[in-house]
Amino acid sequence: MEIQLNGETTQVSEDLDLTTLIANLGLTGKRIAVEVNLEIVPRGQHAQYRLQPGDKIEVVVAIGGGDGGFTL
């Protein structure tokens, strides 16, 4: 099925959940925020959220800065 992932059209398998998508992106264990169709999905709900055709997914990774802060 087709979704939008960070602004790019992407093909993913049917019945994919956010936890699996995040793992496929190599982001498991990273400090991330996930938005689906303009709404933040809390980490505790990633496994329950099944992607739907046409979903718009934004994944933002927090990157440590030199001053100890984070940059999104």
Report the number of distinct structural domains present in the chain.
1
Give the CATH number, domain containing residue 31.
Answer: 3.10.20.30
Greater confidence (50 vs 63) lies with 50
Write out pLDDT tens, residues 22-37: 999 999 999 999 999 9
Domain that holds residue 31: 2-71
% residues pLDDT > 90 (the chain): 85
% residues pLDDT > 70 (the chain): 89
Per-residue exposure over 1-15, b if at least 16 CB sit within 10 Å of its own CB, e if not: eebebeeeeeebeee
